[in-house]
Structure 1
Amino acid sequence: MKPRAVVFAYHNVGVRCLQVLLARGVDVALVVTHEDSPTENIWFGSVKSVAEEHGIDVITPADPKSHELRAAVAAARPDFIFSFYYRHMLPVDLLAIAGRGAYNMHGSLLPKYRGRVPTNWAVLKGETETGATLHEMAAKPDAGAIIAQTPVPILPDDTAAMVFDKVTVAAEQTLWRVLPALIAGEAPHLPNDLSHGSYYGGRKPEDGRIDFTQRAQDVYNLIRAVAPPYPGAFADVGSERFVICRARLVRPGAATPGISGQLPPGIHVSDNALFAVCGDGRAIAIHELRRQHNGQETIVTPAAFSELTSSVPRP
């Protein structure tokens, strides 16, 4: 008899992991997902669409603690509950409905980077590796026993979106590899030592504000961590807001054409090129700068930046 599952899922990881369950012959009786927010940039795949293509019942409850949701899950009689980038914590009494366990796919190498947006935090903190972890769900977030992990590299110029694509593949590979053992009751349950990691909260668009007095590497990590399709790292010059969408850290000791003397931290123009000077004197070459104005973003050329900021006093 096929194992039955209820799947809580969203985003690309949700899409790919749902497809893995179906490919491995799991009977997915119910999919629980989110309604897309009209205020969010929806750049990722639709779990709801995949479920509907396979004739699976889909619900989108607002409250994971509601009696209606619990009744729907209980009616599905799942052996397993899976959570793949579902955005709400699931209550313990709901998890207990699954007779053979409840498991979550997290986008880091637990116990590191527990909590929200782990890929963005890993890039922001300058990590060189992250990954995906399938773990048992518990009362605390990302605290249950580790079932399997797959690491991926974070290269020096990777943006968070690039790393997230790797993590999505790692999640798919992790689930595909361990699912037969999980179904057979033979999967390992390894310790998740929380003393060796930290919990991180969610991030807001305002967290992308750049402090150019910081080290160039730290500024560059912020730019990479929130680059589009995320809201972006930004700086205000006078009354204008500029978002650095693409950039490259100038290597130590490299000559930057057109830069002479000691320039203050901030965005500058030289030889028809945009660059930022940071607190340690290193430069970041800006390859795409956008202006936010009246709810719209437009690409800004070096000449346009100079014109827009010509009346702003400089240190």
Structure 2
Amino acid sequence: MKPRAVVFAYHNVGVRCLQVLLAGGVDVALVVTHEDSPTENIWFGSVKSVAEEHGIEVVTPTDPKSAEMRAAVSAARPDFIFSFYYRHMLPVDLLALAGRGAYNVHGSLLPKYRGRVPTNWAVLNGETETGATLHEMAAKPDAGAIVAQTPVPILPDDTAAQVFDKVTVAAEQTLWRVLPALIAGEAPHLPNDLTRGSYYGGRKPEDGRVDFGQSAQQVYNLIRAVAPPYPGAFTDIGNERFVIARARLVRPGSQDAERVRPLAGLPVGIHVSDNALFAVCGDARAIAIHELRHAHNGQETVISPAAFSELISSVPRP
């Protein structure tokens, strides 16, 4: 008899891991997901659509802790409960309804980067590696025993979105690799030593504000961590807002290194040199801005170096 599961899922990781369960012979009796928010940039796949294509019942409760939600999960008689990038913590009494365990896929190599948006935090902090972890769910977030992990590299110019694509594949691979053992009751359950890890909270669009007084590497890490499709790293000059959508750290010996020489001694911030945009940072190093967007009246338009110079010509610079 196929094992039965209730799946809480959202985003691309939710899509791919739900598909792994179906391909692996799991009877998914119920899918719990979120309604897409009209205020959010929905750039990822739809768990709801995948479930409906397979004829699986889908619910989108506002409160997964409600008595109605517990009754729905209980009625599904799950052997397993899975959470794949579902955005709410699940209560312990609900997890206990899964006779053979409740498991979550998290986008880091636990115990590092427990909590929210782990991929963005890893890029922001200049990490060179992250990954995906399948672990038991517990009362604390991302604190249960580790079942399996798959690492992925973070290359020096990777954006968080590019790393997230790798993490999505790592999540799929991790679940696919260990699912037979999980179904057979033979999967490992390794210690998740929280004292060796870290916990991070959520991030807001305002957290993308650039402090050019920081080092160029720190500024570049922020740009990479929140680059589109995330809200983006931004700076305000007067009443004008500019979003740095694409950039590169100017490295010694590069062509850009020669182009930024005229900027030596200028204050930190965005400047134009040789018809190109650069950001001078607190350590006197620079970032080449390949795409700068002007945010105005709720819209963003790409702005050229000449148009940038003209727009801010009358704005007092610090």
Q: TM-score under structure 2 normalisation?
A: 0.96
What runs of 5+ residues in structure 2 fail to find an aligned partner? Answer: 254-265
- CA drift of 1:64 comes to 1.1
- CA drift of 1:252 comes to 3.5
| Contact map agreement 2:128 2:153 (CA 8 A) in 1 | yes
- CA drift of 1:314 comes to 2.9
What runs of 5+ residues in structure 1 fail to find an aligned partner? Answer: 254-262
Give aligned-pair identity as a percent. Answer: 90
1-side partners of 2:64 and 2:219: how far apart? 37
The worse-fitting range, judged by mean Cα deviation, of 38-47 and 304-313 is: 304-313
Aligned to 1:273, which of 268, 272, 276?
A: 276
| Contact map agreement 1:126 1:221 (CA 8 A) in 2 | yes
Match of 1:305 in 2: 308
- Give every structure 1 segment of 4 or more consecutive aligned residues whose post-TM-superposition deviation is greater than 6 Å: none
| Contact map agreement 1:252 1:282 (CA 8 A) in 2 | no
| Contact map agreement 1:220 1:248 (CA 8 A) in 2 | yes
Q: Deviations over 1:190-234 (max 9, x none)?
A: 000001111000000000000000000000000000000000000
| Contact map agreement 2:106 2:142 (CA 8 A) in 1 | yes
- CA drift of 1:271 comes to 1.1
- CA drift of 1:312 comes to 1.8
2-side partners of 1:94 and 1:160: how far apart? 33
Q: Deviations over 1:102-132 (max 9, x none)?
A: 0000000000000000000000000000000
| Contact map agreement 1:3 1:183 (CA 8 A) in 2 | yes
- CA drift of 1:313 comes to 2.2
- CA drift of 1:44 comes to 0.1
| Contact map agreement 2:113 2:200 (CA 8 A) in 1 | yes
Q: TM-score under structure 1 normalisation?
A: 0.97
2-side partners of 1:56 and 1:309: how far apart? 55
How many residue pairs match? The answer is 306
- CA drift of 1:97 comes to 0.1
- CA drift of 1:290 comes to 0.1
Q: Deviations over 1:234-280 (max 9, x none)?
A: 00011100000000000146xxxxxxxxx110000011100000000
Q: Specify the SS of the correspondent of 1:220.
A: helix
2-side partners of 1:174 and 1:270: how far apart? 47
| Contact map agreement 2:112 2:198 (CA 8 A) in 1 | yes
2-side partners of 1:135 and 1:120: how far apart? 20
2-side partners of 1:238 and 1:266: how far apart? 13
2-side partners of 1:90 and 1:304: how far apart? 50
- CA drift of 1:174 comes to 0.0
- CA drift of 1:94 comes to 0.1
2-side partners of 1:271 and 1:155: how far apart? 29
Q: Specify the SS of the correspondent of 1:175.
A: helix
| Contact map agreement 1:10 1:46 (CA 8 A) in 2 | yes
Match of 1:86 in 2: 86
Aligned to 1:296, which of 291, 295, 299?
A: 299
Q: Deviations over 1:37-59 (max 9, x none)?
A: 00000000000000000000000
Superposition CA RMSD, Å:
0.6
